[in-house]
Every structure is written in structure tokens, then in C-alpha cells.
Amino acid sequence: MNIFFQPYQQANKNSKFSFLKINLFLLIGFVNFSYSEISAQKEEVDPNGYNVFYYSNGKKSSEGYLENGKPNGFWITYYESGLKKTEGNRVNFELDSTWKFYNEKGHLTQAINYKDGLKNGLLIKYDTVGSVRSDELYVNNLKQGAYNSYYPSGQLNWTKNNVDDKLEGFAYEYDSTGRLITIQEYTSGFLRSEEMINRYDENGQKHGVWKEFYENGNLKWEGEFMHGELNGIVKEYNKKGGLKTLEKYEFGEIDTESEDVVFFELEKEVRPDGSMMVGGYNNGMKQGVFREYDSTGVLMASFEYRNDVKLAEGLLDTAGAKTGKWSYYYETGELKSEGEFSGGIKVNEWKYYFKNGDLQQKGSYQNGLPNGNWKWWYSNRQIKREESYRRGKEDGVVIEYDTLGNVLTSGEYIDGIQDGKWFYCVNDHTEEGEFRDNVKHGVWIYKYKDGTLAFKGEYINGLPIGKHKYYYPNGKLYWEGKYDNGLKEGEWIKYNEDGTISIQIVYKRGEEHKINGVKVKRIEG
């Protein structure tokens, strides 16, 4: 909070100050309040007491306590009309507790909680009739947790989630009747997916994908409508996420002969000790999720089957989401991968295997995104690739090898962007140069496997510039020419291996102008 006092003095025998002009500039969060020139009362300003300041029209402009000449405690500011503009408290000269802001008509527009000068608590915005328009939570000036916006009726419109000032996870949009109509998914503020559901066509008929959900958030039913009629696959789920029925519709009629339709029969196998296994069968084969309970009804384990083959096993939480350690298998029964879930999202270290049990890949997840060091191996156990991730993006040095351990690629990423020196081994030659913000920059050099120069050229922000030269494996010049701002310009010459000229082409702004001295004729249109 910066507050500047700008005094103007005029000598007077009866008073130390007869007139004082003060400009107050208050910067509060993202709102910049600039107060025009205002006048204090004729009395002397008390730098350690209560003061009232006025506009030149005599209307009160602000009032509150000064401490050592700076605002502290409760302050109120006003518009020139006399209506309240802001009000709030300061502790130790920092914004504290709830601050309120009003428009020129006197309506409350927003209220925000502060602590130690930082936004901490709910920011609530209001419409012109005083209804809550939106609310969002701040922690130390960063948006954290739920953001909600509302219709004038008070019905929820959008609900989203923030992590460190960025949208994260799922966001849901509802229409004015409370019907869910949009599902979005965000990662670090970026929109990853958007699905529009439960909508009508211009004639008020159901059209597109429709979904229903249980109170616990799990999907209950989903299907697709074509102008009011079901058309396509329709699925129904139980509260724990298991598939109950699957049917196919064609323009409102069930297609019982469709090969896409799979009917499940839920069965419960009760063992002598009271424990049981519950899951679905199709033609006598296990399909989908199976759950195993002990004799007291506590869920002990969950399994995933396809055509009677176990593909995965682990635990589900009360909402039906994967939690704890899970193992996945090849259809032939070998362990394929293993790791942990939390709320249905991969976390911590995961390992992936070849069918013979050798490690194929290893790395960690944070909130479902690769994070930290990752390694890959060939089937001969030779290291294949090493790199680091940060929140799902490559970040740090990456090295890739061939099956004999020779380096194929090396370089560095910064937040998913190639930057700095890079090396490639491509078929019969190597390439070396620098990237800047994911594009080539500076001089790049290619060499044949024996170290003989194969190419040399320069780039600026990804565009080739200046002289570029290519060479035969015997060191003889093969092709040379000049680029101007990414376009071929002037004479380009191609040579035979014995050094004689094969062809000469003159370019103008990237287009062929002459070939071996003969002007290129262009056919217009």
C-alpha cells in the first residue's frame, strides 16, 4: 500500500498551515483508486489522530486515523457526490479484515478479506441489485480452491477450482434451472478438454450427449439423442461406477441384434467364510469391475476383467475411484505395470515392465502428471532414455541412447520448451546447434560419422539466414546458397562430386528466377 501526501504551504500569522492540498493514491489489490486534488479542513492536520478531508466543492472526500502521517485503522473514502466509495481497516498500516467497494450510485460491488496487506478469504462480487454475482477464495493473494458464479436468481452458473492462481481439475457449467450443460478439465490454467452435454435443439428437443449423475458425482446414465430420439449406445451404471446395462438405439428404437450391445448379468459369489465377490458376466465370462468383500462387508480388493482375463487389481474408495496400490497385467497374465492412485489419479512412483519381467519404464506422477526423473529401457536392459518432468512438461536434461549405448539425442528442456545446446544422431550424420524458445537459433553444424563436415548454416529465431553450405562425404562442396529472412535469395549452386557445377539457380524472395542463366517463365493464374 503506497500513500503519498503532497502538502502545499502558505504563510499565515495566525496558523501554521492555512491550507493543505493532499493527493491520495490508494493501490488496493488489482483496483487502482486515484483521488483528485482535495482540501483538508482549515484546521491543522493531525499526523497522529482522526482527520477529515474534503473536495473543493466542500463534500467529504475521506476520513480516518493518521499515525505518523500515514493512514492506519478504519478509513472511509467518498465520491464527490458524497456517496461512499470504499471502507476498510488497516493494522500496522496494512489492509486488514473486510474491505468494501461501492459504485457511484452507492451500490456495493465487492467485498474482500485482507490480512497483512494480502487477500486472504473470500472475494465476493455483487450485481446492481445486491445479489451475489461470484465468490472465490484467496490465500496470500493467490486464488486457491473454489470459484463460483451465479445467475441473478441465485442459481449456480459455474463452479471451478484454482490451485496457486491457476484453474485446475474439473469445471462445471449449469443452466438457469440447475441442469449440468458443460464439463471442462484444466491443467495449470490451460483448458485440456470441454464437453457440452444435456442440451436441446432449436425446437426444444433433446440433442447431443446427455448424462445423469448420482449424488456422489459418479455417472449414472449416458446416451446420445438425435433431435429428441435416442440414437447410439446407452449405458447405465450403479452408484459405485459398475456398468449395469448397455443398449444400442437407432432413432428411438432398441437394436437388439447389434454386435455393440453387451448384456451383463450381475452375480454375487458368497464363500463359506461369508466373504463374497460381486461383478458382471457376459456369456459366462467375467467382464468389467469385480469387487471382493470380507465377511463384514468391507471392500478388500477390486479387479478389472475382460473376457474372463484379469487385467488389473487394486482398491476403490467410497466414491468408486481407484486408490492405493494397483497392478496391471498383460492378457497373458504377466505383470505390465504397478503404482499408486489417489482419488483416481496416478501419484508417486510407477513401474512398467516387459513381458519377461524386465523393467521397461520408471518414473513418478504428481496429481496425475509426470514429475521428476523418468527412465526407459530396451528389452536388452540397455538404458534407452533419461529425462525430467515438472508438472507434466519436460524440464531439464534429456538423453536418448541406441541399443548399444551410443547417444542419439541430448539437450535440455525448460518448462517443455527446447533451449540451449542440442545434439542429434540421425542415420548417417550428427547435428549440433542451439535452440531458443523451441526453434533453431545460431550456427548449426552437421557431420558425417567420420567427423567430416556435412552442413553449416545459421538461423535466427528458426529462420535460416546467410550462407548455407552442404558437403559430400568426401568433403567436396555439394550445394551452397544464401538465405534472406528465411527465403532463398541470389545464386544457389549445386556441384558434382568432382567439383564441377551441376546446376545454378537464381532466387528472388524464395522463388526461382533463373536456372542456368535462363529466366523462368511463370504462367499467371
Sequence letter at residue 162: N
CA 231 – CA 400 distance, rounded (Å): 48
Q: Are 417 and 411 in contact (CB under 8 A)?
A: no
Pairing of strands 285-293, 276-282: antiparallel
What pLDDT score does 239 carry? 81
Highest mean pLDDT among 206-220, 273-287, 342-356: 342-356
Q: Which residue has the higher pLDDT, 69 or 202?
A: 69
CA 402 – CA 524 distance, rounded (Å): 51
Q: Are 481 and 488 in contact (CB under 8 A)?
A: yes
What pLDDT score does 524 carry? 54
For the record, the C-alpha cell of 56 comes out as 473543493
Within its chain, how far is the Cα of 237 from the centroid? 30
Q: What is the mean pLDDT of residues 445-457?
A: 96
What pLDDT score does 288 carry? 80
The pLDDT tens digits of the residues spanning 151-191 come to 988 999 999 999 999 999 999 999 999 999 999 989 888 88
What pLDDT score does 394 carry? 92
What pLDDT score does 11 carry? 33
What pLDDT score does 320 carry? 74
Q: Is the pLDDT of residue 439 over 50?
A: yes
Which of these ranges, 64-68, 235-239, 400-404, has the smallest mean pLDDT? Answer: 235-239
The pLDDT tens digits of the residues spanning 3-22 come to 333 332 333 333 333 333 33
Q: Is the pLDDT of residue 230 over 90?
A: no
Q: Which residue has the higher pLDDT, 121 or 287?
A: 121
What pLDDT score does 193 carry? 81
For the record, the C-alpha cell of 114 comes out as 485482507
Highest mean pLDDT among 122-126, 257-261, 301-305: 122-126
Dihedral Cα 449, 453, 454, 458, nearest 10 deg: 130
Its pTM stands at: 0.51
What pLDDT score does 76 carry? 95
Helix, strand or coil, per DSSP, at residue 384: strand
For the record, the C-alpha cell of 138 comes out as 484467496
Average pLDDT, the chain: 85
Q: Are 369 and 187 in contact (CB under 8 A)?
A: yes
Helix, strand or coil, per DSSP, at residue 409: strand
CA 504 – CA 515 distance, rounded (Å): 6
Strand partners, 442: 459
% pLDDT > 70, the chain: 89
CA 112 – CA 3 distance, rounded (Å): 20
CA 221 – CA 403 distance, rounded (Å): 49
Predicted confidence band at 234 (pLDDT cuts at 50, 70, 90)?
A: confident
Radius of gyration over every alpha carbon of the chain, rounded to an integer in angstroms: 35
Q: Outline where DSSP puts E strands in 79-117.
A: 84-91, 94-102, 108-115
Predicted confidence band at 30 (pLDDT cuts at 50, 70, 90)?
A: very low
% pLDDT > 90, the chain: 60
Q: Which residue has the higher pLDDT, 238 or 42?
A: 238
Predicted confidence band at 204 (pLDDT cuts at 50, 70, 90)?
A: confident
Q: Are 486 and 498 in contact (CB under 8 A)?
A: no
What pLDDT score does 250 carry? 76
The pLDDT tens digits of the residues spanning 110-119 come to 999 999 999 9
Domain boundaries, the chain: 1-104
Q: Which of 212, 204, 209, 211 is nearest to 231 (CA)?
A: 209
The pLDDT tens digits of the residues spanning 360-415 come to 999 999 988 999 999 999 999 999 999 999 988 999 999 999 999 999 999 999 99
Q: What is the mean pLDDT of residues 57-62?
A: 90
Q: Is the pLDDT of residue 25 over 50?
A: no
What pLDDT score does 18 carry? 32
